[in-house]
Structure 1
Amino acid sequence: IAQCIASHGGNWLESRMSRMAGQFAGILRVAVPAEGYDELVEGLQGLSSHGIRVLLAESGIEPVCNWKPIHLDLVGNDRPGIVRDITRLLAEHGVNLESLSTEVRPAPMSSEPLFHADALLAVPLTLSLDTLRERLEDLADDLMVELVLDAS
């Protein structure tokens, strides 16, 4: 991918990539001169012959920042639906996920599966952190989840 971008005059600006369960996925942002755009698109789509699937989308203008970044650290007993319940509550309050990393690993003493999540939230400027904290803590009591919100 990097070779293809460079050979078409593109500039790799930023990326997030990860390997999980034998698969590799990434998202990246590239700048390319207008005259090289079509050739770059063709080159990236041609990577399918090497088993690389590429989905292309043009980036838009970044919206005005009307949110504050908040770090969420979550640990609790694993169970089906835990991510759904947390994200539903966040969405109900207009909170977006900027990044999310999750894993399940055994608890130190009992070896019971513990769910761990680390997220960067985009919290609306109009939403009180106390209100968000209260709602999450109410949900955490139901889920046996510990939450830590820190202004980043």
Structure 2
Amino acid sequence: MKSMILTLIGKDKPGLVESLAQKVYEMEGNWLASNFSYMGGHFAGFLEVDIPEQNHAGLIEWLHAHPALTIHSVKSDDTSVTDTTIAEIDIMGNDKPGIVQELTATLSQFNINIIKFESSCESAPNWGSLLFKAHAKVSIPANFEIDALSDALEGIANDLVVDVALR
């Protein structure tokens, strides 16, 4: 068995995930992990499956023929980073251009990898303006000085007038 990573996108409709799960099962595969979202009438996501290597081509062929999905696949990279700690960052404030750019530039400056990032804009209660919210999981290298990152994130919070919490 060899893992495959699939990225999927298509017009959303009921049954997309079920049809994919059924095909993975039929091809003697095991569903390892997934992350799916709905946005603007479209379905998008990532999926990792462990499937016998002789069935990889068949699954790819089936996915390319699927009328509702566009896919991209890669073989899983079996390397893993072990000397890291996972931290979480939450940001919330009035929406404005540059929030994500400032956050990602700061993380990149410290060579911190983003593992998961979710963001949204929603109507702020009692204000009528948009409220930006983001949640990130990041991988902090071993022996990293967390206070330096905390100070940099505090600087972003002050510059952009947003709340930033590091856990």
In the superposition, the TM-score normalised over structure 2's length comes to 0.82
Q: Are 1:65 and 2:82 an aligned pair?
A: yes
- State the identity as a percent: 32
* Partner in structure 1 of residue 23 of structure 2: 4
**Segment drifting more, 11-20 vs 106-115:** 106-115
Q: What pairs with 1:70-149 in structure 2 (closer than 5 Å)?
A: 70-149=87-166
Deviations 1:37-77 (A, max 9, x none): 22222222221xx1211111111113232221011111122
The farther-off stretch of 67-76 and 119-128 is 119-128
Report the RMSD for the aligned CA atoms in angstroms: 1.4
Runs of 4+ in 1 over 3 A off after TM superposition: none
Between 1:107-116 and 1:92-101, the stretch displaced more is: 107-116
Counting matched residue pairs gives 148
Letter in 1 for 2:57: D
Q: Deviations over 1:1-32 (max 9, x none)?
A: 22222222211111000111111101010111
List alignment gaps of at least 5 residues for structure 2. Answer: 1-19
Structure showing the higher strand proportion among its residues:
2
Once the two structures are superposed, what CA deviation does each residue of 1:99-118 show, in whole Å capped at 9, x if it has no partner? 11111123223222221111
Letter in 2 for 1:53: T
Counterpart Cα distance in 2 of 1:131 and 1:71? 15
Does residue 1:34 correspond to 2:40, yes or no? no
